[in-house]
């Protein structure tokens, strides 16, 4: 009976998604419509688009388990979500303006424009795609795990994973950016507001309140309230810094930056995304942090969220917990599959002088192909999530140097960008083969050491070589663009219509 109740709640949520996405479906007529929704979304759709791309279902499995096992370290996720606010504000205006003026749709498009190099753009497309792809695999895998747990094992792991993943992949294939963002809105509203209320309820039921839980931890498990010596505060700080800048270098986040109808709309979204994300994240992690204090808490802490929901809220809470995790995973999968397809279409196939119309057709089918391939890969065994994702962040964070500085520093050129980024990534990838590269940095991560090398080489080479001639025109565009220009055009069109 419990399995029926929980499964019915989850099935109802999936049906609700299907109905709402169908109601708001619009025909996709161009690549710009498919990839960035015609740059027409208001701030609240952009807000949940960002949250959907950033917030992952593995928060309820891998990170929840790490919060229970190693305590404070896992809380870095909530801390760095606030750090992303700074990175987002740095990115938002120049990315949107150049995107609008030059029809940019991916991070590689931006790099190719800023550094006047399709080859460097292709390099960024390949590396960020490879370093982002583990998120897609992990989230599809997470769906199987959470679906099995939320239905008390009634739905086999692979069955739940494949059915739900295909549902998400199909609506992304048919509806493009609009479908993914409408889905993000439904899913984000649910796990943000209903999820927060549920987490607070479970914390009070299980521990008697947040204050009571921390008091009990201080008495019975004080080691969970400090950073353990193996990780060190340098390692914790590295994870926060890499997450703050690396999270915004994910290709899916750039597509979200292009989607809004104006700079002001983007800034509104940027203001609220980290605040909402960090508030809900910390509640979920705190629920897990005290798990080892509870009698019967499972040895495999990755299933702890569902165990607590069952023990203190019954099958309804289990079903809701499944929805929260499912919603977060669905949002990430939809963003990742569509973004990967757009990148392959524009930044790979686009090199062969294929027409925009054909790239649009190929990209739609690639969404389906990428999603199905990722689902097949997800059936394989995957090790612990957190070490894998930290490695991904350390690698992809290297892209932040040429992108962030390139948006504001005119002397930045393609030579410094390519050498610095390549050395930074190589430092992370070969950290075990060439330990002397990072040994001097103590417990700071290879990603932070890579960023140090990256930044020095980028600056020195850019200063030592000639400034690129096209740069002044790009910066003049930023200086002359009025942030309210799009809104004014829309108001004028409305007045004419009247």
Crossing angle of helices 385-396 and 414-429, in 10° steps, is 160
Given a contact cutoff of 8 angstroms between Cβ atoms, the answer to whether 81 and 303 are in contact is no
Report helix, strand or coil for 102: helix
List phi, psi (to 5°) of 352.
-95, 20
Residue in this structure with the two tokens 């952009």, named with its chain if needed: 46
Neighbour count for residue 394 (Cβ, 10 Å): 28
d(CA 190, CA 61): 18
| Residue 272 CB contacts under 8 Å (≥ 6 apart), including other chains | 47
**100 within 8 A of 39, measured Cβ to Cβ:** yes
CATH for 2-398 (3.40.50.920, 3.40.640.10, 1.20.1730.10, 3.40.50.10320):
1.20.1730.10
End-to-end CA distance of the chain: 59
Instruction: Identify the three-state secondary structure at position 250.
Output: coil
Q: Which two tokens stand for residue 198?
A: 């549920």
Residue for token pair 């219509």: 497
Scanning the structure block, which residue is given the tokens 């927060």? Answer: 196
Tokens describing residue 117: 């190099």
| Burial environment of residue 293 by CB neighbours within 10 A (0 to 12, 13 to 18, 19 or more) | middle
Strand partners for 41? 260
Per-residue pLDDT of the chain (498 residues; tens, 9 = 90+): 777 888 788 888 888 888 887 887 777 778 888 878 788 888 888 777 777 666 777 788 878 888 898 888 878 777 777 777 778 888 889 999 999 999 998 899 999 999 999 899 999 988 888 887 777 888 888 888 777 877 777 778 888 888 888 888 888 887 777 777 887 788 777 877 888 889 999 999 999 999 999 999 999 989 888 877 766 777 778 878 887 887 788 887 778 888 888 888 888 887 777 777 777 788 888 999 999 999 999 988 888 889 999 999 998 988 888 888 887 788 778 878 888 888 888 888 777 778 878 888 888 888 888 888 888 888 876 555 556 666 777 888 899 999 999 999 999 999 999 999 999 999 998 988 888 888 888 878 888 899 999 999 999 999 999 999 999 999 999 999 986 655 444 444 434 443
């Amino acid at each position: 009976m419990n399995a029926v109740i929980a499964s019915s709640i989850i099935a109802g949520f999936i049906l609700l998604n299907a109905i709402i996405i169908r109601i708001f479906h619009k025909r996709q007529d161009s690549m710009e419509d498919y990839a960035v929704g015609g740059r027409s979304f208001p701030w609240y759709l952009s807000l949940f688009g960002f949250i959907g791309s950033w917030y992952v279902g593995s928060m309820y499995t891998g990170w929840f388990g790490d919060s229970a096992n190693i305590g404070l370290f896992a809380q870095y996720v909530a801390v760095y979500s606030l750090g992303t606010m700074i990175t987002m504000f740095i990115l938002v205006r120049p990315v949107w303006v150049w995107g609008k003026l030059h029809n940019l749709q991916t991070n590689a498009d931006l790099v190719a424009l800023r550094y006047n190099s399709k080859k460097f753009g292709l390099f960024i497309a390949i590396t960020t795609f490879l370093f982002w792809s583990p998120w897609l695999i992990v989230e599809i895998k997470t769906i199987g795990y959470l679906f099995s747990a939320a239905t008390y094992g009634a739905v086999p792991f692979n069955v739940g994973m494949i059915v739900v993943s295909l549902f998400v992949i199909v609506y992304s294939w048919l509806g493009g950016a609009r479908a993914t963002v409408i889905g993000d809105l439904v899913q984000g509203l649910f796990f943000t507001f209903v999820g927060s209320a549920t987490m607070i309820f479970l914390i009070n039921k299980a521990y008697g309140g947040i204050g009571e839980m921390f008091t009990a931890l201080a008495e019975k498990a004080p080691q969970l309230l400090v950073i353990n010596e193996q990780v060190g505060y340098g390692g914790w700080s590295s994870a926060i810094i890499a997450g703050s800048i690396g999270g915004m270098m994910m290709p899916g986040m750039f597509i979200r930056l292009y989607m809004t109808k104006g700079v002001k709309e983007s800034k509104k979204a940027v203001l609220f995304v980290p605040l909402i994300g960090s508030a809900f994240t910390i509640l979920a992690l705190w629920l897990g942090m005290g798990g080892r204090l509870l009698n019967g808490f499972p040895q495999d802490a990755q299933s702890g969220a569902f165990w607590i929901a069952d023990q203190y809220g019954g099958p309804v809470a289990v079903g809701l917990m499944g929805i929260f995790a499912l919603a977060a995973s669905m949002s990430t999968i939809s963003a990742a599959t569509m973004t990967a397809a757009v990148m392959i279409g524009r930044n790979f196939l686009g090199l062969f002088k294929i027409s925009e119309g054909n790239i649009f057709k190929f990209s739609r089918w690639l969404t389906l192909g990428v999603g199905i391939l990722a689902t097949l890969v997800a059936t394989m065994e995957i090790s612990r999530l957190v070490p894998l994702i930290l490695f991904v962040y350390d690698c992809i964070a290297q892209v932040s140097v040429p992108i962030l500085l390139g948006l504001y520093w005119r002397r930045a050129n393609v030579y410094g960008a390519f050498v610095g980024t390549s050395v930074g990534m190589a430092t992370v990838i070969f950290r075990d083969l060439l330990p002397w590269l990072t040994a001097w940095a103590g417990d700071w991560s290879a990603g932070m050491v890579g960023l140090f090398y990256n930044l020095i080489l980028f600056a020195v080479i850019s200063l030592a070589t000639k400034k690129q001639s096209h740069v002044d025109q790009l910066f003049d565009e930023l200086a002359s663009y009025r942030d309210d220009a799009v809104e004014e055009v829309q108001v004028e069109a409305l007045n004419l219509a009247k």
